A and B are shown apart, each in its own frame.
Chain A
Amino acid sequence: MMKFARENRLTSWHIGIALTALFIGGAFGPLQKMEHVGINLYPALNNIGIQSYYQGLSLHGVLNALVWTTFFITGFFVFTVSRSWNRELRYPRLNTAALIVMTLGLVSAAVPLLGNKASVLYTFYPPLQADTFFYLGLTLVVVGSWIVGYGLYFTYGAWRKDNPGARTPFIALASLITMVMWQIATLGVAAEILFLIIPWSLGWVEGIDPQLSRTFFWFFGHPLVYFWLLPAYVSWYGMLPKQAGGKLFSEPLARLVFWLFLALSVPVGLHHQFTDPGVPAGWKVLHAVLTFSLFIPSLITAFTVVASLETGARARGGKGLIGWIGKLPWGDPSYAAQNLAMILFVFGGIGGLINASYNVNLAVHNTMWVPGHFHLTLGSAVTLSFFGILYWLLPKLSGRQLWSRKVGLWQAWAWFVGMLLMSNGLHIVGLIFSVPRRSMLGVAPYLQPEWAPFLTEAFIGAMFLAVSGILVYVNVIGTVFFARKLEKPIEMPVAEPLDPTPAPAWLDSWKPWLVGTVALILVAYGPVLFALIRDIASTSPGFKLW
């Protein structure tokens, strides 16, 4: 069998499922925005079994934020890790089993979602109570993703045995750190579902403690966003400089950045709970401060990635203080999509700084500002980067050329413009008018005429996004089924370090970082969780209010 045939097939399946989920979940985005300006298509959707705005929003959140991301990322890592070592998976069957478990989980969660039995949104806060299969399904997706990780760790062990003392290549190391971070983070949601939700949803216990559930959820919920973002960083650091004809500016720092994310992603989750009644203020402040430290690795990223891209632009003849920017490969859709994603991430990052500020958070918490923020981060920095990655990865996997580079470019720019408009409108209505998120605004009795211009702006943005989204699928289908065969094979772009001196050993060493990570989590979460568990009050019966 051809080398990597199994890995390619696995990655293709992961990505195929991810794209299918995004297609269905994404379709609700424009529908929501239309509803907000009074174009209510939900009655028509009744005919295909979508019974409410909120059922649609549950599908939008779960399929986009949980399914598209997790399936894409695990599939991408199977690819990046094995190529980075130029080594096949140690136990390919284990990774096949992982994919099967994840897929069973997806089916188990999707059936109640589509049947309006789990319209609890992607945060599924108790005591809203979904069908048990919804929770079981999510659990299986998570467990399957753990098994993907085990498959990669076994392969790591085998590589290490053959290469004692060698530095783990950057792409493999960064992917593995992300996977380990995910395995620590998901302990929170696993605890929530297995210990609190499932016994309650099966009726074994009468009630649940909503505050404790939320705290377990956000233990997972914040690192979740870094699980989405870091694969994009893997590409920005490890691949994009090569695509721009340059090198990775400071490879050791890139490694440091991933270790810092491992250590700092979890012990900040309470910044999602500043307004929760059951959490003492001191712990909120501690998490707020730790959150600020979490900006440092992202600021290092801003410098290193831009400097790396600059080496490429200058090698291509770029001149001047900023004139080199014009020499970046803007005509390459894979490059353009990811560079535009980075620009949107700058705005997303600034918004994040604001959200994290203990005091300003009160102005924006749970308003439309928040979807404005995470469509720049998750919806753009991450999703648009993944589209950019697909523009080389799909040809690689299918052995066919990208169907249309031009369509790819149009797609990226339409996303960029659409997202600027939509997020601007959402940020403004949230900040200025306190418009709540997760609300069927078009029929809300509190809808006010002053909101209209901004809701309309967001609506126009959503229409750009809808077109852009369709262009993604046109290109995917065109590439996989209709495009011409590749003339010469494609390999994963791997940026060489600018300075060939190997990174110091402490940047390739798990133990100190893992110990530090666990210690930080114990300090930042131990006492809070201990008190909440000690005082657990399982007094809330389940409700189905949809």
Chain B
Amino acid sequence: MHINRYEKFWIILSSLLLVIFAAAVATSSIAYGVQVPVPEQRVDPRLVATPGNLFGEPGLRELAPGRYEAYILSQAWSFSPREIRIPQGSTVTFYMTSRDVQHGFKLQGTNINMMVLPGQVSKLTATFDKPGTYLFMCHEYCGVGHQSMYGQLIVEG
């Protein structure tokens, strides 16, 4: 099969570029500790929010000074809790699940982005060095009230 000289050059060049791109994505993912939710725990969505279960009392828990766990329950059409306050410099691990349909969680201006599915626990960790108010919004359609499902994380300086 004859391939035009310039075309051959183009194909090699673009393949190389893609390899470089893939390598850049891989190394930066490792270097910056990019994390995505991975299988953490399965739960029964019908029971998970009842007393005594994992999300029976959602909210913020302090593990040690500056280290927190936030259990956030998603349901149509609110997060509970809706508001979380932490001191500047804190590290927070978010645990999330849904007791009804699929929801999403994006913390504005950060890479904290996860799907929240009934039956699964989504987990991500982040450190907050900049004080301010960060909105979190449900980003998966969850019924007619979807647009009102949000909350805020307040990092106090």
Interface residues on A, range: 35 or more
Q: Which residues of B contact A53 (CB under 8 A)?
A: 144
**What does the 1/0 interface line of A478-514 toward B look like (CB < 8 Å)?**
0000000000000000000001010110010000000
A11 at the interface (CB under 8 A from B): no
Within the complex, which residue of B39, B147, B148 is in contact with A280, where a contact is CB–CB below 8 Å?
Answer: B39
A303–B118 CB distance below 8 A = no
- Looking at A73-81, A249-257, A336-344, the stretch in contact with chain B turns out to be A249-257
Give B33-75 interface residues, CB cut-off 8 Å to A: 34, 36-40, 42, 44-46
In the docked arrangement, what's the CA distance between A32 and B39, Å? 36
In the docked arrangement, what's the CA distance between A434 and B107, Å? 8
Most buried by A among B108, B121, B122, B145: B108
B34–A127 CB distance below 8 A = no
Specify the chain B residue showing the minimal Cβ separation from A545. Answer: B143
Within the complex, which residue of B1, B101, B113 is in contact with A252, where a contact is CB–CB below 8 Å?
Answer: B1
Specify the chain B residue showing the minimal Cβ separation from A123. Answer: B141
**Closest chain A CB from B108 CB (angstroms):** 4
B114–A277 CB distance below 8 A = yes
A60 at the interface (CB under 8 A from B): no
Q: Which residues of A contact B25 (CB under 8 A)?
A: 288, 357-360
Specify the chain B residue showing the minimal Cβ separation from A55. Answer: B144
B38–A540 CB distance below 8 A = no
B76–A543 CB distance below 8 A = yes
Residues of B within 8 A of A (CB-CB), count:
65
Specify the chain A residue showing the minimal Cβ separation from B4. Answer: A250
Give B78-105 interface residues, CB cut-off 8 Å to A: 100-102, 104
A121 at the interface (CB under 8 A from B): yes
A307–B7 CB distance below 8 A = yes
Q: Which residues of B contact A224 (CB under 8 A)?
A: none
In the docked arrangement, what's the CA distance between A252 and B11, Å? 14
Specify the chain B residue showing the minimal Cβ separation from A289. Answer: B22
A191 at the interface (CB under 8 A from B): no
Q: Which residues of A contact B42 (CB under 8 A)?
A: 535, 537
Most buried by B among A52, A252, A365, A441: A365
B145–A281 CB distance below 8 A = no
- Looking at A154-162, A227-235, A290-298, A371-379, the stretch in contact with chain B turns out to be A290-298
In the docked arrangement, what's the CA distance between A300 and B9, Å? 11
A192 at the interface (CB under 8 A from B): no
Q: Which residues of A contact B28 (CB under 8 A)?
A: 359
Specify the chain A residue showing the minimal Cβ separation from B15. Answer: A296
User: Which residues from chain A sit less than 8 Å from chain B, CB to CB?
Assistant: 52-54, 57, 119, 121, 125, 127-128, 209-211, 214, 249-250, 252-253, 273-281, 284-285, 288-289, 292-293, 295-296, 299-300, 303-304, 307, 353, 357-360, 362-363, 365-367, 433-441, 443-446, 499, 501, 503-504, 507, 535, 537, 539-541, 543, 545-546
11 extra interface residue pairs, beta carbon distance < 8 Å, beyond A434-B108, A499-B2: A125-B101, A210-B118, A293-B18, A296-B14, A357-B25, A359-B25, A365-B113, A436-B137, A501-B2, A539-B118, A540-B118
